[in-house]
Homo-oligomer: A and B are copies of this chain.
């Protein structure tokens, strides 16, 4: 089996590799893992020895199939536990990420499948992120970031990509939660902030926020 640390590295590498299709760089991993580049290099050697990543010195890394399977498995567990915490234990969406960081490393294949079943095979976690099925398949979805939308565009908030309690509470105060319908009224040249129509009200949202909201629009 893999240590918690190894699993966290694989998850980080997976998420980074989603951002673009070139190999993931040491420094990016170091930032994601909140550690130093030298520590990352050490771990990359280890993951490479275990055939979880393809690693060429100075050239960054890509996950092998085994590495990807492991990473997706951890993500699956993370998101299922988040659903459990919110749906069954009445946690709020801003309270569950850190607990799921721990629960995601519990290793029992049967547990994951039973949990999935108990939750009714949910497709998304409380932050709108898709939950891979037991074969690691994600439901395809084409979202865009709110900051990529144009004046007049309409859509429904489908997810976020920051999970800190402070950010999520801020969104709640703004009324920007999952499932909410929005329309872009105006984009300010000056600071990139956006004027939105949300449930009949006009609100102004900073670029920091629009970059972290995913919208499903058609």
Contacts and interface: CB of A to CB of B under 8 A. Distances in A.
Contacts of A95: 110
Q: Copies per complex?
A: 2
A110 B95 CA distance: 10
Interface stretch (A56-64, A101-109, A139-147): A101-109
Contacts of A99: 106, 108, 111
A102 B110 contact: no
Interface string A82-102: 000100111100010011001
B111 A107 contact: no
Most buried by B among A90, A91, A102: A102
A102 to B, nearest CB: 5
A178 interface: no
A89 B103 contact: no
7 contacts: A85-B111, A88-B118, A91-B114, A99-B106, A99-B108, A99-B111, A103-B106
